[in-house]
Chains A and B, each alone.
Chain A
């Protein structure tokens, strides 16, 4: 049998926290939101932007039929989730890009023109 005591995480993972965990970062042109969402089909994910609020909704489905297998250990959370965050800056809704690779969702939101830095021309009289 498998030795369950050989390597055990002490925290119970995602219990009691918001899912998915996110990292929000920004560069000059974009606000980038990353979310750790392993094991989700792209079709089960729903990403929406309205004003400056980003909503990530989805469902993580077990990839095996639960009634046919016997679970010996369960740490990974399943089910539906929804999370809305207020973005740090105004974004343009048009050019939002989202990609999903290796279980990480990356949403790239271009900053709205009014929140980008503007060069001020100094006039000399």
Chain B
């Protein structure tokens, strides 16, 4: 018997009209932070349960597409007594502008958090203009 006490916990399911989602299982929006440093933008995405081998980060046209797949077969020999979260794949995409140097985008995965570093392009970095004395 599945008991759901906290409806607020349920992850936001991706509906088919928002993006193309194919394959078995449910897909969810992972939570993410975006921050800016003088040299980079960075995106942190919570994807618990996703191993590095099941993670894909693609640059397609102007979009950074992130997919993480979760194995859903671990519960075969167990009886679920209490369930507060759903297990499913993760998908999220971000539009990327010219302000980012696309050749140098890096992604790191640790403890279920994906960190993507998007270096700023040279022309948007702040720089000092020297005032000359005439």
Within 8 A of A (CB), among B68-105: 75, 77-85, 91-97, 99
- A72-B35 in contact (CB<8A): yes
B8 within 8 A of A: yes
- B95-A6 in contact (CB<8A): yes
Smallest CB–CB gap between B113 and chain A, Å?
4
Q: How many A-B residue pairs have CB under 8 A?
A: 147
Which residues of A pack against B, CB within 8 Å?
Answer: 1-4, 6-11, 13-18, 21-27, 31-32, 36-41, 63-64, 68-76, 88, 100, 102-104
Which residues of B pack against A, CB within 8 Å?
Answer: 6, 8-12, 18-19, 29, 31-37, 41-44, 46-51, 63, 75, 77-85, 91-97, 99, 110-113, 115
- Other 6 A-B pairs with CB < 8 A, given A6-B63, A63-B44: A2-B97, A27-B77, A27-B78, A74-B33, A76-B32, A103-B113
